[in-house]
Amino acid sequence: MTTALEYAASFGRRKPNQDEVAELHRLREQDLAALAPKAVITVEDVQALEWGVKFEVANKFLDKCEEAAKHALLHDPHHGVRSAAALFKPAEKPSLPPSAERSARTAQATAAQIAVIIMNGKRRMATLHGLKTAAGIEEMIESIYPASLLERATDFIAGFEGDDTQEGVDQLLADLRAALKPIR
Asked if the model's pLDDT at residue 169 lies above 80, the reply is: yes
Domain residue extents for the chain: 4-87, 98-183
pLDDT of residue 179: 75
pLDDT of residue 150: 76
| Torsion angle (degrees, nearest 10) of CA 157, 161, 163, 166 | 50
Phi (first) and psi of residue 36, to 5 degrees? -55, -45
Res. 97 pLDDT band, cuts 50 70 90: low
Stronger pLDDT, 42 or 145, i.e. the higher one? 42
Asked if the model's pLDDT at residue 102 lies above 50, the reply is: no
Asked if the model's pLDDT at residue 107 lies above 90, the reply is: no
How far from each other are the two terminal CA atoms of the chain, in whole angstroms?
Answer: 44
Mean pLDDT of the chain: 82
141-162: buried (b, 16+ CB within 10 Å) or exposed (e) per residue? bbeeeebbebbeebeebeeeee
Query: Which of 88-97, 116-125, 145-154 shows the lowest mean pLDDT across its residues?
Result: 88-97
pLDDT of residue 114: 77
Asked if the model's pLDDT at residue 106 lies above 80, the reply is: no
Q: What is the mean pLDDT of residues 132-151?
A: 78
Stronger pLDDT, 179 or 139, i.e. the higher one? 139
pTM for the whole thing? Answer: 0.49
Q: pLDDT tens digits for 28-80?
A: 999 999 998 999 999 999 999 999 999 999 998 998 999 999 999 999 999 99
Asked if the model's pLDDT at residue 136 lies above 60, the reply is: yes
Res. 104 pLDDT band, cuts 50 70 90: very low
Q: pLDDT tens digits for 26-42?
A: 999 999 999 989 999 99
